[in-house]
Amino acid sequence: MRLQGKISLITGAASGIGEAAARTFAREGAAAIIADRDEANAARVAGEIRAAGGQADYVIVNVGEAADIERMVQSTADKFGRIDILLNNAVYTAVGRVADIPLEEWQRTLDVSLTAYFYATKLVLPIMVRQGGGVILNTSSTAGFLADYKLAPYAVVKAGVLALTRNTAIEYARKGIRCNAICPGSTATPGFLRTLSRPKGFREIYEDKIPMGRLAKPEEIANLMLFLASDEASFVTGAYYLADGGFTAHSGNPYVPGQGPDWE
Ligand SMILES: NC(=O)c1ccc[n+]([C@@H]2O[C@H](COP(=O)([O-])OP(=O)(O)OC[C@H]3O[C@@H](n4cnc5c(N)ncnc54)[C@H](O)[C@@H]3O)[C@@H](O)[C@H]2O)c1
Protein backbone atom coordinates (compact mmCIF):
# COMPACT_ATOMS: atom_id res chain seq x y z
CA MET A 1 0.00 0.00 0.00
CA ARG A 2 1.58 3.24 -1.16
CA LEU A 3 -0.55 5.71 0.84
CA GLN A 4 -1.18 3.71 4.01
CA GLY A 5 -2.79 5.83 6.74
CA LYS A 6 -2.79 9.06 4.73
CA ILE A 7 -5.74 11.46 4.73
CA SER A 8 -6.54 12.77 1.26
CA LEU A 9 -8.94 15.58 0.41
CA ILE A 10 -10.03 15.66 -3.23
CA THR A 11 -12.21 18.31 -4.87
CA GLY A 12 -14.42 17.34 -7.79
CA ALA A 13 -14.18 13.71 -6.68
CA ALA A 14 -17.78 12.73 -7.45
CA SER A 15 -16.95 12.23 -11.13
CA GLY A 16 -14.21 11.58 -13.65
CA ILE A 17 -10.56 12.09 -12.78
CA GLY A 18 -11.26 13.12 -9.18
CA GLU A 19 -13.39 10.02 -8.66
CA ALA A 20 -10.65 7.80 -10.10
CA ALA A 21 -8.10 9.50 -7.83
CA ALA A 22 -10.32 8.92 -4.77
CA ARG A 23 -10.69 5.23 -5.63
CA THR A 24 -6.97 4.84 -6.37
CA PHE A 25 -5.82 6.64 -3.21
CA ALA A 26 -8.27 4.59 -1.10
CA ARG A 27 -7.11 1.34 -2.70
CA GLU A 28 -3.57 2.29 -1.65
CA GLY A 29 -4.59 2.77 1.98
CA ALA A 30 -5.54 6.46 2.20
CA ALA A 31 -8.81 7.80 3.54
CA ALA A 32 -10.47 9.61 0.61
CA ILE A 33 -12.54 12.67 1.44
CA ILE A 34 -14.70 13.44 -1.56
CA ALA A 35 -15.43 17.17 -1.81
CA ASP A 36 -18.02 17.97 -4.45
CA ARG A 37 -21.25 19.86 -4.98
CA ASP A 38 -22.96 16.76 -6.42
CA GLU A 39 -24.32 15.05 -3.31
CA ALA A 40 -25.76 11.96 -4.99
CA ASN A 41 -22.51 11.06 -6.74
CA ALA A 42 -20.30 12.04 -3.80
CA ALA A 43 -22.31 9.64 -1.62
CA ARG A 44 -22.15 6.98 -4.36
CA VAL A 45 -18.35 7.17 -4.69
CA ALA A 46 -17.81 7.16 -0.91
CA GLY A 47 -20.22 4.22 -0.54
CA GLU A 48 -18.52 2.22 -3.29
CA ILE A 49 -15.07 2.82 -1.79
CA ARG A 50 -16.29 1.68 1.62
CA ALA A 51 -18.01 -1.36 0.11
CA ALA A 52 -14.65 -2.30 -1.44
CA GLY A 53 -13.05 -2.16 2.02
CA GLY A 54 -11.57 1.35 1.74
CA GLN A 55 -11.98 4.40 3.93
CA ALA A 56 -14.03 7.29 2.52
CA ASP A 57 -16.15 10.25 3.51
CA TYR A 58 -17.69 13.15 1.65
CA VAL A 59 -18.32 16.84 2.13
CA ILE A 60 -20.74 18.83 -0.01
CA VAL A 61 -19.17 22.09 -1.19
CA ASN A 62 -19.30 24.68 -3.91
CA VAL A 63 -15.60 25.46 -4.23
CA GLY A 64 -16.52 28.78 -5.81
CA GLU A 65 -17.55 29.93 -2.31
CA ALA A 66 -14.80 30.82 0.17
CA ALA A 67 -16.97 29.83 3.16
CA ASP A 68 -17.47 26.34 1.67
CA ILE A 69 -13.73 25.87 1.26
CA GLU A 70 -13.20 26.94 4.87
CA ARG A 71 -15.81 24.39 6.00
CA MET A 72 -14.29 21.67 3.78
CA VAL A 73 -10.79 22.09 5.24
CA GLN A 74 -11.95 22.61 8.82
CA SER A 75 -14.32 19.64 8.89
CA THR A 76 -11.68 17.35 7.38
CA ALA A 77 -9.01 18.48 9.84
CA ASP A 78 -11.44 18.18 12.78
CA LYS A 79 -12.63 14.72 11.82
CA PHE A 80 -9.35 13.14 10.74
CA GLY A 81 -6.83 15.21 12.70
CA ARG A 82 -4.60 15.88 9.67
CA ILE A 83 -4.58 16.40 5.90
CA ASP A 84 -1.73 14.63 4.11
CA ILE A 85 -2.85 15.07 0.51
CA LEU A 86 -4.86 17.88 -1.07
CA LEU A 87 -5.90 17.37 -4.70
CA ASN A 88 -7.40 20.53 -6.20
CA ASN A 89 -9.33 19.22 -9.17
CA ALA A 90 -12.87 20.66 -9.54
CA VAL A 91 -13.48 22.76 -12.61
CA TYR A 92 -15.88 25.16 -14.22
CA THR A 93 -15.24 27.06 -17.42
CA ALA A 94 -16.98 29.71 -19.44
CA VAL A 95 -16.98 29.01 -23.17
CA GLY A 96 -16.89 31.66 -25.87
CA ARG A 97 -14.71 33.91 -27.96
CA VAL A 98 -12.80 36.46 -25.91
CA ALA A 99 -15.03 39.37 -26.95
CA ASP A 100 -18.19 37.39 -26.15
CA ILE A 101 -17.49 36.15 -22.63
CA PRO A 102 -19.58 37.94 -20.01
CA LEU A 103 -17.48 39.34 -17.16
CA GLU A 104 -19.46 37.33 -14.57
CA GLU A 105 -18.71 34.10 -16.46
CA TRP A 106 -15.01 34.94 -16.62
CA GLN A 107 -15.09 35.66 -12.89
CA ARG A 108 -16.91 32.43 -12.07
CA THR A 109 -14.29 30.45 -14.01
CA LEU A 110 -11.53 32.10 -12.00
CA ASP A 111 -13.41 31.55 -8.72
CA VAL A 112 -14.06 27.82 -9.18
CA SER A 113 -11.00 26.79 -11.16
CA LEU A 114 -8.18 28.98 -9.83
CA THR A 115 -9.08 30.99 -6.71
CA ALA A 116 -10.49 27.82 -5.12
CA TYR A 117 -7.14 26.08 -5.70
CA PHE A 118 -5.33 29.00 -4.08
CA TYR A 119 -7.70 29.24 -1.14
CA ALA A 120 -7.77 25.52 -0.32
CA THR A 121 -3.96 25.50 -0.58
CA LYS A 122 -3.68 28.56 1.68
CA LEU A 123 -5.86 26.92 4.35
CA VAL A 124 -4.23 23.49 4.17
CA LEU A 125 -0.62 24.74 4.24
CA PRO A 126 -0.57 25.68 7.96
CA ILE A 127 -2.00 22.25 8.79
CA MET A 128 0.71 20.55 6.72
CA VAL A 129 3.42 22.75 8.24
CA ARG A 130 2.19 21.83 11.73
CA GLN A 131 2.16 18.11 11.00
CA GLY A 132 5.59 18.28 9.34
CA GLY A 133 4.70 17.71 5.69
CA GLY A 134 2.17 16.93 3.02
CA VAL A 135 1.45 16.82 -0.68
CA ILE A 136 -0.57 19.25 -2.77
CA LEU A 137 -1.59 18.25 -6.27
CA ASN A 138 -3.27 20.57 -8.75
CA THR A 139 -5.06 19.38 -11.86
CA SER A 140 -4.00 21.55 -14.78
CA SER A 141 -4.31 20.47 -18.42
CA THR A 142 -2.57 20.51 -21.77
CA ALA A 143 -4.70 23.67 -22.07
CA GLY A 144 -2.23 25.26 -19.64
CA PHE A 145 0.15 25.49 -22.62
CA LEU A 146 -2.01 25.47 -25.72
CA ALA A 147 -4.91 27.52 -27.07
CA ASP A 148 -8.28 26.09 -28.07
CA TYR A 149 -11.12 27.93 -29.74
CA LYS A 150 -13.56 29.58 -27.32
CA LEU A 151 -11.65 28.39 -24.27
CA ALA A 152 -9.60 31.40 -23.17
CA PRO A 153 -10.96 31.29 -19.60
CA TYR A 154 -10.01 27.61 -19.30
CA ALA A 155 -6.53 28.19 -20.70
CA VAL A 156 -5.97 31.07 -18.29
CA VAL A 157 -6.96 29.15 -15.16
CA LYS A 158 -4.95 26.09 -16.20
CA ALA A 159 -1.84 28.23 -16.82
CA GLY A 160 -2.49 29.98 -13.51
CA VAL A 161 -2.61 26.63 -11.74
CA LEU A 162 0.89 25.87 -13.03
CA ALA A 163 2.20 29.17 -11.64
CA LEU A 164 0.48 28.58 -8.29
CA THR A 165 2.03 25.11 -8.19
CA ARG A 166 5.57 26.40 -8.73
CA ASN A 167 5.26 29.18 -6.17
CA THR A 168 3.73 26.92 -3.52
CA ALA A 169 6.46 24.36 -4.16
CA ILE A 170 9.44 26.65 -3.66
CA GLU A 171 7.98 28.46 -0.66
CA TYR A 172 7.19 25.27 1.29
CA ALA A 173 9.88 22.87 0.03
CA ARG A 174 11.81 23.10 3.31
CA LYS A 175 8.68 22.37 5.31
CA GLY A 176 8.36 18.88 3.85
CA ILE A 177 5.52 19.93 1.56
CA ARG A 178 5.60 19.00 -2.11
CA CYS A 179 3.34 20.62 -4.72
CA ASN A 180 2.99 19.35 -8.28
CA ALA A 181 0.61 19.71 -11.21
CA ILE A 182 -0.85 17.08 -13.49
CA CYS A 183 -1.67 17.99 -17.09
CA PRO A 184 -4.05 15.45 -18.54
CA GLY A 185 -4.84 15.31 -22.20
CA SER A 186 -8.33 14.44 -23.34
CA THR A 187 -9.76 11.96 -20.87
CA ALA A 188 -12.94 9.88 -21.04
CA THR A 189 -14.73 11.41 -18.04
CA PRO A 190 -18.47 12.12 -17.81
CA GLY A 191 -17.69 15.84 -18.11
CA PHE A 192 -15.58 15.54 -21.24
CA LEU A 193 -17.71 12.84 -22.88
CA ARG A 194 -20.65 15.26 -22.68
CA THR A 195 -18.56 17.75 -24.67
CA LEU A 196 -17.71 15.10 -27.26
CA SER A 197 -21.25 13.75 -27.58
CA ARG A 198 -22.25 16.15 -30.37
CA PRO A 199 -22.04 16.05 -33.30
CA LYS A 200 -22.02 12.30 -33.96
CA GLY A 201 -18.53 11.11 -34.86
CA PHE A 202 -16.82 14.03 -33.09
CA ARG A 203 -15.14 11.74 -30.57
CA GLU A 204 -13.45 9.83 -33.41
CA ILE A 205 -12.17 13.07 -34.97
CA TYR A 206 -10.82 14.07 -31.57
CA GLU A 207 -9.14 10.73 -30.93
CA ASP A 208 -7.48 10.77 -34.32
CA LYS A 209 -5.50 13.88 -33.23
CA ILE A 210 -3.96 11.95 -30.33
CA PRO A 211 -0.89 9.89 -31.33
CA MET A 212 -2.16 6.99 -29.19
CA GLY A 213 -5.46 7.18 -31.06
CA ARG A 214 -7.66 7.22 -27.99
CA LEU A 215 -8.74 9.22 -24.95
CA ALA A 216 -7.13 8.55 -21.58
CA LYS A 217 -9.02 6.49 -19.04
CA PRO A 218 -9.49 8.45 -15.78
CA GLU A 219 -7.55 5.71 -13.97
CA GLU A 220 -4.50 6.44 -16.13
CA ILE A 221 -4.46 10.01 -14.86
CA ALA A 222 -5.12 8.82 -11.30
CA ASN A 223 -2.08 6.51 -11.51
CA LEU A 224 0.15 9.53 -12.18
CA MET A 225 -1.49 11.34 -9.27
CA LEU A 226 -0.82 8.32 -7.07
CA PHE A 227 2.88 8.41 -7.90
CA LEU A 228 3.08 12.14 -7.13
CA ALA A 229 1.12 11.71 -3.89
CA SER A 230 3.34 8.85 -2.70
CA ASP A 231 6.77 8.90 -1.09
CA GLU A 232 8.17 7.50 -4.34
CA ALA A 233 8.03 11.11 -5.60
CA SER A 234 9.98 12.38 -2.58
CA PHE A 235 12.31 14.64 -4.65
CA VAL A 236 9.61 15.86 -7.03
CA THR A 237 8.20 19.31 -6.40
CA GLY A 238 7.24 22.36 -8.45
CA ALA A 239 6.87 20.13 -11.48
CA TYR A 240 4.15 19.40 -13.95
CA TYR A 241 3.54 16.08 -15.58
CA LEU A 242 1.81 15.52 -18.88
CA ALA A 243 -0.30 12.43 -19.48
CA ASP A 244 -1.66 13.12 -22.93
CA GLY A 245 -1.05 10.10 -25.16
CA GLY A 246 1.59 12.07 -27.07
CA PHE A 247 -0.73 14.95 -27.98
CA THR A 248 1.62 17.83 -27.13
CA ALA A 249 4.63 16.02 -28.61
CA HIS A 250 3.21 16.55 -32.07
CA SER A 251 3.67 19.93 -33.78
CA GLY A 252 0.18 19.80 -35.24
CA ASN A 253 1.52 20.34 -38.75
CA PRO A 254 -0.18 18.36 -41.50
CA TYR A 255 2.07 15.65 -42.95
CA VAL A 256 3.53 15.69 -46.40
CA PRO A 257 1.42 13.43 -48.67
CA GLY A 258 2.97 9.98 -48.72
CA GLN A 259 4.94 10.64 -45.51
CA GLY A 260 2.12 10.14 -43.04
CA PRO A 261 2.01 7.73 -40.13
CA ASP A 262 2.20 3.99 -40.76
CA TRP A 263 -1.52 3.45 -40.24
CA GLU A 264 -2.47 5.79 -43.11
N1 LIG B 1 -11.51 15.20 -18.98
C2 LIG B 1 -10.53 15.77 -19.64
O3 LIG B 1 -10.36 15.57 -20.85
C4 LIG B 1 -9.57 16.69 -18.92
C5 LIG B 1 -8.40 17.07 -19.60
C6 LIG B 1 -7.49 17.92 -18.95
C7 LIG B 1 -7.76 18.35 -17.67
N8 LIG B 1 -8.92 17.97 -17.04
C9 LIG B 1 -9.14 18.47 -15.70
O10 LIG B 1 -9.40 17.40 -14.83
C11 LIG B 1 -10.24 17.85 -13.76
C12 LIG B 1 -11.43 16.94 -13.63
O13 LIG B 1 -12.15 16.96 -14.85
P14 LIG B 1 -13.18 15.80 -15.25
O15 LIG B 1 -13.13 15.68 -16.71
O16 LIG B 1 -12.94 14.62 -14.38
O17 LIG B 1 -14.56 16.52 -14.87
P18 LIG B 1 -16.01 15.97 -14.53
O19 LIG B 1 -16.97 16.99 -15.08
O20 LIG B 1 -16.21 14.53 -14.94
O21 LIG B 1 -16.04 16.07 -12.94
C22 LIG B 1 -15.89 17.30 -12.31
C23 LIG B 1 -16.43 17.23 -10.88
O24 LIG B 1 -16.25 18.53 -10.30
C25 LIG B 1 -17.43 18.86 -9.60
N26 LIG B 1 -17.55 20.31 -9.52
C27 LIG B 1 -17.69 21.18 -10.55
N28 LIG B 1 -17.82 22.43 -10.07
C29 LIG B 1 -17.79 22.35 -8.72
C30 LIG B 1 -17.89 23.30 -7.68
N31 LIG B 1 -18.09 24.59 -7.93
N32 LIG B 1 -17.78 22.87 -6.40
C33 LIG B 1 -17.59 21.55 -6.13
N34 LIG B 1 -17.51 20.60 -7.08
C35 LIG B 1 -17.61 21.00 -8.36
C36 LIG B 1 -18.56 18.23 -10.42
O37 LIG B 1 -19.76 18.08 -9.66
C38 LIG B 1 -17.93 16.91 -10.85
O39 LIG B 1 -18.19 15.90 -9.88
C40 LIG B 1 -10.59 19.31 -14.09
O41 LIG B 1 -9.70 20.17 -13.41
C42 LIG B 1 -10.34 19.38 -15.59
O43 LIG B 1 -10.07 20.68 -16.03
C44 LIG B 1 -9.82 17.14 -17.64
**So what's the pLDDT on residue 237?**
99
Using DSSP's 3-state secondary structure scheme, residue 1 falls into coil
In-domain check, residue 196: no
CA of 93 relative to ligand 1 center, distance in Å: 10
154 is catalytic: yes
Q: Is the CB of 165 under 6 A from ligand 1?
A: no
Is residue 172 within 8 Å of residue 179, measured between CB atoms? yes
**So what's the pLDDT on residue 129?**
98
CA of 191 relative to ligand 1 center, distance in Å: 7
Q: Is the CB of 93 under 6 A from ligand 1?
A: no
Q: Is the CB of 37 under 6 A from ligand 1?
A: yes
In-domain check, residue 255: no
Q: What CATH number does residue 225 fall under? A: 3.40.50.720
Q: Is the CB of 36 under 6 A from ligand 1?
A: yes
In-domain check, residue 101: yes
| DSSP string covering 140-177 | --GGGTS--TTBHHHHHHHHHHHHHHHHHHHHHGGGTE
User: Atom of ligand 1 at shortest distance to CA of 139?
Assistant: 41
Q: Is the CB of 192 under 6 A from ligand 1?
A: yes
In-domain check, residue 103: yes
**So what's the pLDDT on residue 264?**
66
**So what's the pLDDT on residue 41?**
98
In-domain check, residue 203: no
**So what's the pLDDT on residue 28?**
98
CA of 89 relative to ligand 1 center, distance in Å: 6
- Cis before residue 199, ω within 30 degrees of 0? yes
* Cα angle, residue 143 at apex, residues 23 and 157 outer, rounded to 5°: 85
Residues in the chain: 264
**So what's the pLDDT on residue 227?**
98
Count of structural domains within the chain: 1
* Residue-by-residue pLDDT tens, the chain, 264 positions: 999 999 999 999 999 999 999 999 999 999 999 999 999 999 999 999 999 999 999 999 999 999 999 999 999 999 999 999 999 999 999 999 999 999 999 999 999 999 999 999 999 999 999 999 999 999 999 999 999 999 999 999 999 999 999 999 999 999 999 999 999 999 999 999 999 999 999 999 999 999 999 999 999 999 999 999 999 999 999 999 999 999 999 999 988 888 888 776
The conformation of residue 99, written as its DSSP 8-state character, comes to G
**Nearest in space to 46 (alpha carbons), one of 65, 25, 75:** 25
Q: Whose CA is nearest to atom 34 of ligand 1?
A: 36
Catalytic residue from among 92, 117, 154, 241: 154
Residue 180 and residue 159: Cα distance in Å, rounded? 13
Beta strands in 185-263 (DSSP E): 240-243
Record the pTM: 0.98
CA 191 to each of CA 29, 68, 214: distance values in angstroms, whole numbers, following the listed order: 27, 22, 17
Residue 48 and residue 51: Cα distance in Å, rounded? 5
CA of 6 relative to ligand 1 center, distance in Å: 23
Residue 165 and residue 220: Cα distance in Å, rounded? 21
Give the CB-side neighbour count of residue 107, counting CA atoms within 13 A. Answer: 4
CA of 263 relative to ligand 1 center, distance in Å: 33
Q: Is the CB of 63 under 6 A from ligand 1?
A: yes
Cross-strand pairs, 177: 134
Q: To 10 degrees, the CA torsion angle through 201, 202, 204, 208?
A: 140
Residue 148 and residue 150: Cα distance in Å, rounded? 6
Instruction: Give the structural domain span for 141.
Output: 7-187+219-241
Residue 234 and residue 231: Cα distance in Å, rounded? 5
CA 94 to each of CA 20, 88, 151: distance values in angstroms, whole numbers, following the listed order: 25, 19, 7
Residue 190 and residue 57: Cα distance in Å, rounded? 22
